[in-house]
């Protein structure tokens, strides 16, 4: 077991290759109703990483957390109609659309509250597993305080037990 942050740079991460219940790298709406917890863009590394809570997802029953990693990112578009509030909210995935075009991975995500994300990269990785000790249900974003919400959600430093992973590598030279 390792933290999600450690997994992202682990040279052994491909050892988790196996088919999850749903493969978000190829299946349209594979992440439907998952909660987009956080997004990290690293300009120096050219990577975009999306962290999902799967406890409300329609396609997953055997795991509680997923991480989608896009490497050698060429384009990112982010749009949000949501006004910034003082409390964390859930951003449930309404649709996810993975495609490949000209040897590039293209990922489009639409979330509740008007969040839209699209990105293009040369490769992608999708990890599914468990953050131990997460409650069986997500926190109540209306009634719980920030501490209770944070304790009930996966985070970058959460210990993570990857169970399955899929990988999509570019088929064309740059």
DSSP structure class, residue 6: H
User: Exposed, middle or buried by CB within 10 Å (0-12, 13-18, 19+), for 139?
Assistant: buried
For 151, phi then psi, to 5°, come to -70, -25
For 104, phi then psi, to 5°, come to -115, 145
Contacts of 85 (CB under 8 A, 6+ apart): none
Tokens of 127: 């990890």
Global pTM value: 0.92
Asked whether the CA dihedral 19, 23, 26, 27 is positive or negative, the reply is: positive
Q: What is the pLDDT along the chain (174 residues), one digit of tens a residue?
A: 899 999 999 999 999 999 889 999 999 999 999 999 999 999 999 999 999 999 999 999 999 999 999 999 999 999 988 777 666 788 999 999 999 999 999 999 999 888 899 999 999 999 999 999 899 999 988 898 888 888 999 999 999 999 999 999 875 554
């Amino acid at each position: 077991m390792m933290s999600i942050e450690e997994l992202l740079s682990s040279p052994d991460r491909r050892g988790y290759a196996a088919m999850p219940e749903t493969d978000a790298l190829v299946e349209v709406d594979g992440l439907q109703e998952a909660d987009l917890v956080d997004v990290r863009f690293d300009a120096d590394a050219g990577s975009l990483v999306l962290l999902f809570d799967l406890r409300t997802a329609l396609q997953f029953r055997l795991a509680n957390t997923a991480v989608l990693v896009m490497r050698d990112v060429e384009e990112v578009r982010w749009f949000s109609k949501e006004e910034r509030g003082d409390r964390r909210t859930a951003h449930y995935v309404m649709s996810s659309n993975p495609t490949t075009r000209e040897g590039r991975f293209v990922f489009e995500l639409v979330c509740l509250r008007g969040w839209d994300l699209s990105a293009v990269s040369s490769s992608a990785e999708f990890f599914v597993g468990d953050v131990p000790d997460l409650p069986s249900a997500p926190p109540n974003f209306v009634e719980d305080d920030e501490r209770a919400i944070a304790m009930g959600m996966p985070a970058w430093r959460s210990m993570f037990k990857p169970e399955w992973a899929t990988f999509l590598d570019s088929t064309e030279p740059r």
